[in-house]
Structure 1
Amino acid sequence: MITSFSTQGIFYSKKTFGAFDRIDGECRSSDGRPTAVELYVAMEPDLLHWKFEEEARALHEGRPSLRPLNCAKTFSELSPTDIVKAAGEIDANVRSSEKGREIVALATFLPEIVASDRRVNPSRQDAVRALANIITLGRLLRKDFGHPVSTVEIVAGSRFESLKGRASGNGERKYEVCLETISTIQARLLQSLEQALQLACSGGTQRDDCPAIALELEPGGYFAVRNIDSLTSLANALDQTPAISDKVGFNLDISHWRISGVTIQEIQSNPNVQYRIIHSHFSGHHRCAHFGDCVPAPAEWDNFTPWLTLLRDLMSPKEMAIRQHKRLPMFSGCVSVEMEAARNVDSIVEIVRQLHSRL
């Protein structure tokens, strides 16, 4: 489900929101509440909206070209007034237009969050301020408008430092990719998260009001969090970083973790990783690659059942007591159906129906 600080994204995603009436009619939750929503923030629909607005201003002012736009840079420049206005607009659209639905999480992608200090426009500090503003948006939606926003999901970045092009002897253009080490990227990530939380939770803001940050594992060798080893090293590093240990965990995207070769047995034998799972995404996937989200084939559902059981176990009294004792963030209790590539409403309804029958 996609929105933006201007909420234009909501109206660009009528396919997804159009499915909600059918979902509520055919798969309504046991407590009778409408389907909750996880909103994507500072992503493509927002950038398209900003470009459209900037193009209109340039045409009106007679300017020949547009200034470059970037989500991290644009979101970093939001004022406190902008964020308050955004929270009000989002609440009004989701509650009135979508029959009183609740927002349970925000999600974003700010690749500059692990960039080196040499990078500018946008810089890592732009991404830090953007993330702080998104956390603040979640806090306002939660505290002032009653939405149970518990997490902000964010991709943990990649190892790509720079891309250099050069002409070869035969006229072809070749490229050299400069990569950073996992340890360097993870150190930058922890530093950026600490700075973002300090900004979002400053000025008398109660830390408990701020949503936690759920880091996303992405399949592929060049991502900062990509397999059980990187999950383990990051979990251990978080344990040694008390300034953010209570506000940072992992998003268990079942498809991503399966593609990356992470097994349930590895999670259960590694409590540092298990206790850091604070949110979850669900969709079908190809067994070898992540090229689009889909409804799992009937024979595949049995493979997902142990993962859904694991998520239920994260809400057990024993698990919650351990987290409280260790001052770790709690599991959100939500599984977001991430159907960005759904062909039609039927696909969305079917995957929600199947999940309801298994949870």
Structure 2
Amino acid sequence: MDQKTFEGWDTIDAEEAGLDADALEQIIDYARGNESTMNRDIGQALADGHFGEPWPIGEVVGPVKNRAGPSGLLLRRGKIVASWGDVDRVDMTFSISKSYLSLCAGIAVDDGLIPDIDAPVRELVRPGCGFDSPQNRDITWRQLLQLTSEWEGTMWDKPDWIDHNRVVMGQAGNGAPKGQKRDLHRPGTHWEYNDVRVNVASLALMHVFERPLPEVLKERIMDPIGASETWQWHGYEKSWIEIAGRKMQAVSGGAHWGGGLWISTMDHARVGQLMLNKGVWNGVRILSERWIETITTPCDLNPVYGMLWWLNTDGSPIYPAASRSSFFGIGVGTNLLWVDPDNDMVVVARWIEGDAINGFTERVMASLIQ
């Protein structure tokens, strides 16, 4: 196990944490030995068609950064039990960015800026923001956050159909090829993992706050939980707009076409612990417990998805070895932010091959002895 000092964190040895020390070493060896096959040159990985989209429709329109090797942290009872790799290095995190977007939405709800998540989004954004058409006018905040909006249009030069029929975590639509345009359903009646629509949610939230979302996230969550100053949240070259007389960039909910949240393993762990604590940090309420429960409640149309968080629901768990209370931020790479309330545990694992994540979770669970 890597040995280092973690500023602001208590550490605990395996036995005291209720884990088998030998099994813990095997977990780390497994994580390191199953590094992602994704090219460390992320720009090249995307250019080579990682998301299966032809140019120019799949062109990268936001910044990218080369990745490091595997890294991770295991926390139990709020203390660090194990770490591997460079946990302070800032890397792209792809779709875990979506889970951070849900936290920004929670701030808006807690502050009363979004009084009702079942009300149409158009009531809180200005005309011309993509919610005026017959297909889009009745889309609600809940539908945007649960990925059931069926929003139609083009956002930052990417049409919604670029992600039609997308297969993610075994959750698929119609069996048709990804990017083959299909007939749209009524909002709230079809689940689809669609980055364009998540970017629409990001823009809509920026309109509600009238501030850049990274500014909101830093002030209301990252600074209060003691996160570093190193994380960044990027949008696209053309995602700059003016709101309330101020030019600001709408950030992306992933790095599908570049951009997204760039963050360290350590800062991910802090957010995971905040979620495990049901929105409380060192006795201070950061997010309402009600919001944490809302975003980790299964969507009616997809039992393994809440609001921009993946769930390990009975009957169809994503990772069968993990507890059914577990929920996850998951991004390409694979980047994994795993929160396990039943076992008072947070695990961050980065750049592990996707096919090895099941084996990783199995080994973590097998290491628990009390």
Give the TM-score range, shorter chain: under 0.3
Q: Which has the higher contact order (CA 8 A, sep 6+)?
A: 2
Normalised to the residue count of structure 2, the TM-score between the two structures is 0.26
**Length-normalised TM-score, structure 1:** 0.27
